[in-house]
């Protein structure tokens, strides 16, 4: 009986061993694969969101700009009726205002039709967005930071062209949109570029906010 108990104790001790190095290595490999899949998934989601902003927000505003011209013979955002977009009623040359941005949709500003129309007044729908304003779009950067893109139309007094202006857009999104529009994300050549006052190139920090412009002359 004593021998049986002894052997039973030996068996219990033998079965109570820890992980081997091989087993630990396998576990670490599996954990690495899972983490890599999660990171890759986040990258895919972010890439999809960036393309969505391009196709369903920025490009749709560009299309609205074209349709507005087809219907009215005027430029969307041109509250002075001089062929220059300004999104700043009565103050050409100054930065766009929220009143001017609202007028892109409603046209209900100091300059009444037929001097100036908004999208709604000519039967056009404003692009869909995820905020309460048609000219804003909410975006979360790769660090989880919140950005609210602000869209307007403006005129370059030096180069003499109208452009879509996008304020508070992070550099990582600028790079993605630039590549989609121009095929190369350099920020200084092509139709989608950095704001001239900011040097015309995307910054080195991905999540820092920039000002971008998309040329609207065709």
| Position 4 in a domain | no
Could you give the CA distance from residue 177 to residue 140 in angstroms, rounded to a whole number?
15
| Position 12 in a domain | no
| Position 150 in a domain | yes
Burial-class residue 14 by CB neighbours within 10 Å (0-12, 13-18, 19+): exposed
Domain with 134, as residue range(s), is: 50-215
| Position 26 in a domain | no
pTM to 2 decimals? 0.78
| Position 179 in a domain | yes
- Identify the segments of the chain with pLDDT beneath 70: 1-19, 34-45, 89-93, 109-113, 196-200, 218
Instruction: For residue 97, give Cα distances in angstroms to 83, 92, 144, 153.
Output: 18, 11, 28, 10
Which pLDDT tens digit goes with each residue over 44-92? 567 889 999 999 999 999 999 999 999 999 999 988 888 999 887 656 6
| Position 101 in a domain | yes
| Position 106 in a domain | yes
| Position 41 in a domain | no
Count of domains forming the chain: 1
């Amino acid at each position: 009986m004593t021998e049986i108990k002894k052997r039973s104790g030996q068996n219990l001790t033998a079965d109570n061993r820890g992980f081997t190095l091989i087993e630990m290595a396998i576990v670490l490999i599996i954990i690495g694969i899972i983490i890599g899949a999660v990171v890759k998934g986040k990258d895919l989601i972010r890439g999809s969101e960036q393309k969505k902003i391009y196709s369903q927000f920025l490009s749709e505003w560009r299309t609205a700009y074209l349709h507005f011209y087809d219907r009215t013979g005027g430029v969307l955002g041109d509250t002075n009726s001089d062929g220059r977009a300004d999104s700043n009623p009565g103050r050409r040359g100054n930065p766009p205002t929220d009143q001017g941005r609202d007028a892109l949709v409603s046209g209900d500003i100091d300059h009444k039709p037929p001097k100036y129309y908004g999208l709604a007044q000519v039967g056009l729908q404003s692009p869909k967005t995820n905020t309460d304003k048609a000219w804003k779009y909410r975006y979360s950067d790769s660090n989880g930071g919140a950005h609210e893109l602000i869209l307007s139309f403006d005129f370059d007094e030096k180069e003499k062209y109208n452009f879509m202006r996008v304020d508070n857009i992070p550099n990582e999104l600028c790079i993605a949109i630039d590549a989609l529009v121009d095929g190369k994300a350099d920020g200084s050549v092509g139709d989608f570029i950095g704001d001239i006052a900011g040097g015309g190139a995307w910054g080195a920090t991905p999540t820092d906010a920039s000002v971008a412009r998309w040329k609207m002359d065709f």
